[in-house]
Amino acid sequence: MATTETAVRIPGAIDLSLEYTIDAPPERVWQALTAELARWWGSGFHLGETPTDLTLELEVGGRLLEFWGDRGGALWGRVTGLEHGRWVELEGRFGIAGPVIGIVCWEVEPLAAGTRLKLSHTAHGLLREGTGESYTYGWNLLLGENLKAWVERGEARGLPGVD
């Protein structure tokens, strides 16, 4: 779970700030966060029924894409800001249906022992009641449990069959 959590409750908006402590060097967390998404981005958090890959093109204008084999895919967001090894900001709907704009930022900070991973997620538009709580739960599971398990113990909880 998140070590620090704030969520502002505004109708039609999400404003989340979450922090996680991971027992690994920042370089390892960054690698997993940006290049190994399919290893930890778990089931139940995909846009297609049978996703085959999830990839982040790590450059400004790059895309966070979910692939469904030869049957298509979905765009989660686009990279709008980046400092390699430190933070990446993405703009997109992040799975929210309808007219919505969202900004997600992942920031990696070194600690004396390990890494602090900070997430901020804001979204505005036609949001259903409970969307903020759902995303808090989802990010806590994806980053606070799945990513942490992958980085610290090599325990893959992502897409089946991804090596």
Q: What is the pLDDT of residues 27-46, one digit of tens each?
A: 999 999 999 999 999 877 87
What CATH number is given for 4-16+34-153 in this structure? 3.30.530.20
Residue 3 pLDDT: 62
In three state form, how does the secondary structure of the chain look?
CCCEEEEEEECCEEEEEEEEEECCCHHHHHHHHHHCHHHHCCCCCCCCCCCCEEEECCCCCCEEEEECHHHCEEEEEEEEEEECCCEEEEEECCCCCCCEEEEEEEEEEECCCCEEEEEEEEEEECCCCCHHHHHHHHHHHHHHHHHHHHHHHCCCCCCCCCC
pLDDT digits (tens, 9 = 90+) for 73-103: 999 999 999 999 999 999 999 988 888 999 9
- Tell which wins on pLDDT, 14 or 7: 14
**Of 8-12, 97-101, 159-163, which one has max mean pLDDT?**
97-101
Domain ranges of the chain: 4-16+34-153
Residue 8 pLDDT: 47
